Structure 1
Amino acid sequence: MLDSRLPLALDGGGLEWPAEGTIAVFNPAPEADLDGVPQDRSEIIHDLYPAHASWAARGYAVAVEGEGRYAAALVCLPRAKQQARAMIAQACAQSAGVVVIDGQKTDGIEGILKSMRARVDVHGPVTKAHGKLFWIEAPAADYFADWAAGPELGEGGFWTAPGVFSADGVDLASALLVDALPEKLGKHVGDLGAGWGFLSAHVLTREGVEAVHLVEAGHMAIECARRNVTDPRAVFHWDDATTWDPAHKLDTIVMNPPFHVGRAAEPQIGQAFVAAAARLLAPQGHLWMVANRHLPYEDELKTRFAQVAEVGGDARFKLFHAQRPLRKRR
């Protein structure tokens, strides 16, 4: 954990923050302890809306993307390798001083450390709690330019980016859901956890749709969706789908909800999406949902909707159609 490694590095381990200037902290977990970073001199840079809002609530300066130059930077590695490299490239380009990298073994810290040692002098590492922290003096701004990455046009003519769900192509579960959707979905449709917009792009081909609300917590994902879904009926929301509150109830919701933040499955995330769908739908509303077959969503669906049916799938995924949300729990 960062809060066990950073103090060791700062207390006799050789790491020192500059005496003045802002320290950029990239991608810290919402529950992370940043006592080793002066709060009045830090700026949290986070792409995910819930984490962004959580750090703001804790009194930190926050930004979606860092701007300008910082006195130093701390990078908390994400799981996706390309995204991690891009984050390090950005930190190096924007830091005038030390760049600190921290991560768990399960986040690929060993591979990143090996790659960086082949290119620059590395200080540390501090090894503890199944992870490592190390740092480098900021090289020339473009030294890691080959690691930088952003939105790019990929398979099927869709824009995606490193770290965005299904960045390498169309997700098989989402494709399965698209094939199951009826021709009529109502006037107002919501796509919860919209990602880069695959489901919404297909929803907009259905008869009678007047608006599709794409709700997505990842800022980079929603920016990709803006490129992929250019229909003026698309409305984009960088927000937490489980707490988003539209002006009007929706006729239909489609979703392929996330089911993990780390590596282990966390079905409570998808269950929260089901609860949100019931809250957001009109009394006669419909939910169309796809999920991994092993995840336990049936009970939550039956608690939240008067009618629930499994309407297809394959060996890996199951499709649900739920109708008539219940306003009170049974």
Structure 2
Amino acid sequence: MRSSRLTLALDGALAALPERGDILILRPRGPEEIVPLPNARLRVVQGFRPEHDALAARGYRCFASAAEEEALPPPVAALVCLPRSKAEARALLYHAARRVVPGGPVWVDGQKTDGIDSVLRDLRGHVTLTETVSKAHGKLFGFAAAADALPAVWQASERQVEGGFVTLPGVFSADGPDAASVMLAAALPDKLNGEVVDLGAGWGYLSRAGLSRNGVRKLHLVEAEAAALASARVNVTDPRAMFHWADATTFRLPRGVDHVLCNPPFHQSREADPGLGLAFLRASARLLAPHGTLWLVANRHLPYDRPLSELFRDCAEIGSDTRFRLTRASRPHRP
């Protein structure tokens, strides 16, 4: 999709690509999206660990955050791969407009389902846009970089939410604790003796609740999204916390832990993907010691009963409401 629009753009529909200098790519969803661009000149910022690793494996220079990339000289051009979060999209556009050398092209690309038309309308009030390439249910257009091109309120900044937590644009549940995590936090027992993993920790709401229980020696926050983990480092300051930027479905520790807290995602895109949640369940069983316990919250409609019974010897529903169900699963089976 994106690659087909890029090919048309490079054939002359948009501003010509500068002959020298690095090109900044913000938040591509995979190597196939940026194939038409010259690999050796690209700096790719992708904070989602599985996609970051896939890009690095293809030889791209990858950075977990825009701040990490800023140690290098300014790029001569940028491509913003539009995310679904409007706040994150604006933050990426603001960064690109200030980061690229003045007058250099900033391209913006996204699907209609990403809100590309809304972003296009927003930008028209601030910059002069180049010709638009429309193809494959999406659009690509550009504008000239300038430090003062876009409103300062678009820049990425921490937001304080309920409970004194901070979040960043684009992270899951950026407006405050999600209802499922609140439900699980309230259901945790008074004691969580031993070592704990918060699998898919987000910005740290469940981890802080876990650390408030008696008996916790150590708690591992495992989160694939770098921006969410950066917020978690601010929100969870307990010295027993350990932070891991990692794909939760493949994360491993040297030995089994006593408890796993889990509010697994079930969307890869706009469509539900129960397979993603199942991968979290399998990872939970793998991480636990033979006596360990999984504390799980999930949407009621998700088909987790049978997989849980196959992964654990003991499973029990410990609470529910009209949307979510709480499960305690213990004593994982070993292959």
Calculate the TM-score normalised by the size of structure 1. 0.97
Cα distance in structure 2, aligned partners of 1:249 and 1:224: 27
- Give the structure 2 partner of residue 75 of structure 1: 80
Choose which of 95, 108, 122 in structure 1 pairs with 2:115.
108
Choose which of 104, 107, 118 in structure 1 pairs with 2:125.
118
**Which deviations, in whole Å up to 9, do the C-alpha atoms of 1:126-148 show, x marking residues without a partner?**
11111111011112356343210
The one-letter code of the counterpart of 1:224 is: S
Q: Say which SS state the counterpart of residue 294 (structure 1) adopts.
A: coil
More divergent stretch after superposition (131-140 vs 99-108):
131-140
The one-letter code of the counterpart of 2:193 is: G
- Give the structure 2 partner of residue 170 of structure 1: 177
- Give the structure 1 partner of residue 317 of structure 2: 310
Cα distance in structure 2, aligned partners of 1:314 and 1:216: 27
Choose which of 124, 138, 141 in structure 2 pairs with 1:131.
138
In the alignment, is residue 259 of structure 1 matched against residue 266 of structure 2?
Answer: yes
**Which deviations, in whole Å up to 9, do the C-alpha atoms of 1:87-133 show, x marking residues without a partner?**
11111111111000000111110000001112111112111111111
Q: Say which SS state the counterpart of residue 294 (structure 2) adopts.
A: strand
Aligned residues: 328
Cα distance in structure 2, aligned partners of 1:153 and 1:237: 23
Cα distance in structure 1, aligned partners of 2:236 and 2:274: 29
In the alignment, is residue 36 of structure 1 matched against residue 36 of structure 2?
Answer: yes
- Give the structure 2 partner of residue 294 of structure 1: 301
Does the aligned pair in 1 maintain the 2:84–2:115 contact within 8 Å?
Answer: yes
- Give the structure 2 partner of residue 2 of structure 1: 2
Q: Say which SS state the counterpart of residue 98 (structure 2) adopts.
A: helix
CA positional deviation for 1:258: 0.9
- Give the structure 1 partner of residue 93 of structure 2: 88
- Give the structure 2 partner of residue 18 of structure 1: 18
The alpha-carbon distance between structure 1 residues 238 and 99, as it changes in their structure 2 partners (threshold 3 A), is same
Does the aligned pair in 2 maintain the 1:92–1:144 contact within 8 Å?
Answer: no
CA positional deviation for 1:71: 0.8
CA positional deviation for 1:286: 0.2
Cα distance in structure 2, aligned partners of 1:293 and 1:266: 14
More divergent stretch after superposition (13-22 vs 186-195):
13-22
Q: Which runs of 5+ in 2 are unaligned?
A: none
Q: Say which SS state the counterpart of residue 79 (structure 1) adopts.
A: coil
Does the aligned pair in 1 maintain the 2:14–2:142 contact within 8 Å?
Answer: no
Q: Say which SS state the counterpart of residue 248 (structure 1) adopts.
A: coil
CA positional deviation for 1:10: 1.3
The one-letter code of the counterpart of 1:85 is: R
**Which deviations, in whole Å up to 9, do the C-alpha atoms of 1:24-76 show, x marking residues without a partner?**
11000125332221000001101111111111111100112231411100010
CA positional deviation for 1:326: 0.9
- Give the structure 2 partner of residue 59 of structure 1: 59
Cα distance in structure 2, aligned partners of 1:39 and 1:169: 39
Cα distance in structure 2, aligned partners of 1:218 and 1:151: 16
Does the aligned pair in 1 maintain the 2:200–2:248 contact within 8 Å?
Answer: yes
Cα distance in structure 2, aligned partners of 1:144 and 1:133: 21
The one-letter code of the counterpart of 1:10 is: L
Cα distance in structure 2, aligned partners of 1:300 and 1:125: 47
In the alignment, is residue 47 of structure 1 matched against residue 47 of structure 2?
Answer: yes
Residue identity over aligned pairs, in percent, reads 50
Report the RMSD for the aligned CA atoms in angstroms.
1.2
Q: Which runs of 5+ in 1 are unaligned?
A: none
Calculate the TM-score normalised by the size of structure 2. 0.95
Cα distance in structure 2, aligned partners of 1:206 and 1:268: 31
Q: Say which SS state the counterpart of residue 319 (structure 2) adopts.
A: strand
The one-letter code of the counterpart of 1:53 is: D
Cα distance in structure 2, aligned partners of 1:178 and 1:244: 23
Does the aligned pair in 2 maintain the 1:190–1:212 contact within 8 Å?
Answer: yes
The one-letter code of the counterpart of 2:261 is: V
Q: Runs of 4 or more off by more than 6 Å in structure 1?
A: none
**Which deviations, in whole Å up to 9, do the C-alpha atoms of 1:131-174 show, x marking residues without a partner?**
11101111235634321022222222101111111110111100
Does the aligned pair in 1 maintain the 2:99–2:147 contact within 8 Å?
Answer: no
Q: Say which SS state the counterpart of residue 291 (structure 1) adopts.
A: strand
Does the aligned pair in 2 maintain the 1:98–1:135 contact within 8 Å?
Answer: yes
More divergent stretch after superposition (91-100 vs 144-153):
144-153
Cα distance in structure 2, aligned partners of 1:140 and 1:223: 26
